[in-house]
Amino acid sequence: MTGTTTGAIAEKILASKLVRICAPTRYIAGFRTASGRELALERERKTGVFLWTECVAVGIPARFEDVCEHYNAHSPRNSNLNGKNAPRLQLGSPASYWRLPPEALPDFLDWYCAL
């Protein structure tokens, strides 16, 4: 992955503010907030920032409501979300999937980290 793709830039921002769960795989980089919430970045996306988070069902800021899809515990999802890089986001746990424009990442991160 080069340092100029949207995914690489997003990963640098996340790594500067969060703790990595483990070394990233080719497809997923998992992180943990100070409060223990997990977030996983789909690393190979080039046109936006695609994130998985622990389920957030209420209190979503209006600017993020239209970029979120909720997955119940049994809904299929990215198979790279597993016990190694995102244990709380893998199949068996509810999760939220976010498709953000790159410029929204800092605000999103501030909001999610405050939960």
pLDDT at 10: 96
CB 23 within 8 A of CB 29: no
Phi then psi dihedrals of residue 14, to 5 deg? -60, -45
Query: Is 16's pLDDT higher than 60?
Result: yes
pTM of structure: 0.93
pLDDT at 91: 97
Pairing of strands 28-32, 38-42: antiparallel
73-95: pLDDT as tens digits:
999 999 999 999 999 999 999 99
46-63: pLDDT as tens digits:
889 999 999 988 899 999
pLDDT at 2: 41
Largest pairwise CA distance in the chain? 36
